[in-house]
Amino acid sequence: MTNFTEREKGQEAKYVHDSEMQFQVEAKRNKLIGTWAAQHLGLTGAACDAYVAEVIAADFTEKGSEDVFKKLAADFRTHNIRMSDDVIRAKLAEFGIEAEKSVGT
């Protein structure tokens, strides 16, 4: 094998690894923020678990975290819970950092 081919394979493996790690971080962040939101919505037990699953699934709607933000903001409005956009975005960032640390990126 040539050095170029070896480097190319190495870069491909790094890309796959980085993509998998990013997916794990986002899934963990979504679980954390889904749990946080469920608590504010008064959900416990199976209802909390179902809501967290909805938040995780919402992340597959658009690239990035905007789809999760939109879901949370809409759910808070629907339940007449005053939660500013800034607070939701700050929590997304906070839980993203926490998820990165726990996943070990």
CATH of the domain at 64: 1.10.790.20
Domain holding 74, by residue range, is 3-103
Place of tokens 């491909």: 12
Q: What is the pLDDT of residue 31?
A: 96
Residue 66, CA distances (Å) to 1, 9, 41 in order: 43, 33, 20
Please state at what angle helix 85-103 crosses helix 3-41, rounded to 10 degrees: 130
Q: What is the pLDDT of residue 1?
A: 58
Q: Two tokens at 42?
A: 């008064």
Regions of the chain where pLDDT drops below 50? none
- CA–CA separation, 50 and 2 (whole Å): 51
Q: What is the pLDDT of residue 65?
A: 87
Q: Report the domain count for the chain.
A: 1
| pTM for the structure as a whole | 0.83
Q: Is 26 within 8 Å of 99 (Cβ atoms)?
A: yes
Q: What is the pLDDT of residue 43?
A: 97
Looking at the chain, how many residues does it have? 105
